[in-house]
Structure 1
Amino acid sequence: MSLPFFEHPDDAGRQLPIAMAHRGFSAEGLENSMAAFRAGVDLGFRYLETDVHTTADGVLLLFHDETLDRVTDGRGRVAELPAADVARARINGREPIPTFDELVTQLPEARLNLDVKDWGSVRSTAAAIERHQVHHRVLVTSFSDRRRRAVLKLLSQPVASSAGVASNALFTLLGPALPRPAFRWLMRRVLRDVHALQVPVRYGRVPVVTTGFIRRAHDLDLVVHVWTINDAGEMHRLLQLGVDGIVTDRADLLRDVLRARGQWPERPGQGNRPPGPAA
């Protein structure tokens, strides 16, 4: 990949697998909190996966759900609440919901995989990327290809982007069925603004991440990131298969797997950190 977001070399210049902390890292249910994001960075993670929603008055938040109800002590739909009300809610009763502005400024080295969760966040996401000039630090994704493309159209510079559900499904189902030239011709049009395929190991009973899937992706200069993998054996299997990245809730476990494989970028002071989870 030529885009800066994907550049992840070791000291010898080898491209390393991208390890992505899913909603940060917390053993205490503090997903998408600054505590979880800092814990991921403290473990040595350069890449953080997160989600964006927007308040009624236009503040871009890092939050997965449409409502506050599941993970906070607050109630109500994020899109219908002013930022001042959302700011009073606490994740798991402890941590405030962070804004995009807070994350990009407080963790300036982190690269962010942004899942745009609703249409109300299209303009606010693009505006935040432009405001901070962090095009090189973000990958824009969404389950909806239309919503993802709507964000891209508002940006002044290229950013990394991954396919939505419909495009991933076409790639998965048509890959084994079409002749290679026809498949390449079609996918270059369907995936014209896509750089990554971020997929689960399987959709229901349909296997997705196979040697053929990875080969076809690489043939089109696409990287393959797999979510959400929390088992060490499965991490090893996927890395051996040739995936380019793994998204995990168990950042501590994935770090240990990559270290064992000689694929973890050690930084000064990391070697003495305890291996256990942090909140």
Structure 2
Amino acid sequence: MRPQAIGTAGPGWPYPRWIAHRGAGKLAPENTLAAFRLGAAHGYRMFECDAKLSADGVVFLMHDTTLDRTTNASGVGGERPWAELAQLDAGGWHSRAHAGEPLATLENLARFCLANACLLNIEIKPTPGAEQRTGEAVAGLAARLWAGAGIPPLLTSFRPESLQGAMQAAPALPRGLLVDTLWDGWFDIARALHCVAVVANQVLWDDALVRQVHGAGMRCLSYTVNDEWSAQRLLALDTDGIITDRVDLFPPA
């Protein structure tokens, strides 16, 4: 049975329950505008993306530290100036149909989202060694791009230093701690950073953990959920957000 289509996850939470991972999951080259357009074509109103800094301080979208997997170049992306990164092919690795698709900047994506009334979860994905600086830059830019424009983006990261930088640069923007395991001190860190959400590996959620997070006034989001059984389990646990690659399978609203 396909999971029930559910919109927002309750009063006081402005984001829809279903979030398209990296734009359209695996159906288009991740973190490119082509992917976000395809996710929107499937009816999704919120997207997750990965943001990092170029060598000259431009916030651009890419998941990996290196360029090798998702572009026609190699080496550390954050060590290249934007003028070089902008020339790369970020679509040919995925399919011939997307060959020549460029890397996107956060500003590019913000314009798309604001023009189409879409919401965004920006994962701060720093190049190692640039954790706090990346958090500051992403949050500062997001605050300017979304100033007076309605529902702001949700900023998340696995790196507390990045969230600390984001909190210092733009304290009004909502933050969420990403966790792949329940490492010592994660809960205290999430509260100290005034997080509004915990975004966890889907297998971590159970009744006790949902109660703990909800009891602290935070929301429970899951990544990356691609099968119906897992989605049904998370809905039954009353979690608040599901990040998925399967924009073609799950009805978003």
TM-score past 0.5 threshold: yes
Aligned match of 1:111: 119
Secondary structure of residue in 2 paired with 1:76:
coil
In 2, Cα distance between the equivalents of 1:41 and 1:82? 30
Counterpart selection for 1:254 from 247, 250, 253: 250
In 2, Cα distance between the equivalents of 1:163 and 1:19? 18
**CA offsets, 1:202-246, max 9 Å, x none?**
3xxxxx200111112111111100110100121112111211110
Gaps of 5+ in 1: 1-6, 173-185, 203-207, 259-263, 265-279
Aligned match of 2:8: 8
Q: How many Å apart are 1:41 and its aligned residue?
A: 1.6
In 2, Cα distance between the equivalents of 1:159 and 1:190? 15
Aligned match of 1:82: 81
In 2, Cα distance between the equivalents of 1:26 and 1:163? 21
Secondary structure of residue in 2 paired with 1:253:
coil
Amino acid aligned to 1:122: G
Matched, 1:63 2:62: yes
Q: How do 1:167-186 residues align onto structure 2 when only pairs under 5 Å count?
A: 168-170=182-184
Q: How many Å apart are 1:136 and its aligned residue?
A: 3.5
Counterpart selection for 2:135 from 111, 115, 122: 122
Gaps of 5+ in 2: 1-6, 93-98
Q: How do 1:216-255 residues align onto structure 2 when only pairs under 5 Å count?
A: 216-255=212-251
Amino acid aligned to 1:154: A
Q: Is the 8 A contact 2:8 2:16 kept in 1?
A: yes
Aligned match of 1:73: 72
Q: How many Å apart are 1:148 and its aligned residue?
A: 0.8
Aligned in 2, Cα 1:192/1:127: closer, same or farther, shift over 3 Å?
closer
In 2, Cα distance between the equivalents of 1:41 and 1:167? 31
Q: Is the 8 A contact 1:145 1:166 kept in 2?
A: no
Q: How many Å apart are 1:18 and its aligned residue?
A: 1.4
Q: How do 1:260-279 residues align onto structure 2 when only pairs under 5 Å count?
A: 264=253
Which of these two proteins has the greater Rg computed from alpha carbons?
1
In 2, Cα distance between the equivalents of 1:189 and 1:137? 19
**CA offsets, 1:164-194, max 9 Å, x none?**
449953478xxxxxxxxxxxxx849844511
Aligned residues: 231
Q: Is the 8 A contact 2:67 2:77 kept in 1?
A: yes
Aligned in 2, Cα 1:55/1:166: closer, same or farther, shift over 3 Å?
same
Percent of aligned positions that are identical: 29
Q: Is the 8 A contact 2:49 2:123 kept in 1?
A: yes
Q: Is the 8 A contact 2:54 2:60 kept in 1?
A: yes
Matched, 1:162 2:176: yes
Q: Is the 8 A contact 1:17 1:243 kept in 2?
A: no
Q: TM-score normalized by structure 1?
A: 0.74
Aligned match of 2:95: none
Aligned in 2, Cα 1:171/1:223: closer, same or farther, shift over 3 Å?
farther
Q: Is the 8 A contact 2:190 2:198 kept in 1?
A: no
Aligned match of 1:194: 195
**CA offsets, 1:11-41, max 9 Å, x none?**
x999885111110105445011101011112
Secondary structure of residue in 2 paired with 1:106:
helix
Aligned in 2, Cα 1:196/1:72: closer, same or farther, shift over 3 Å?
same
Q: How many Å apart are 1:122 and its aligned residue?
A: 2.6
Matched, 1:140 2:146: no
Aligned match of 2:23: 24
Deviates more, 1:227-236 or 1:159-168: 159-168
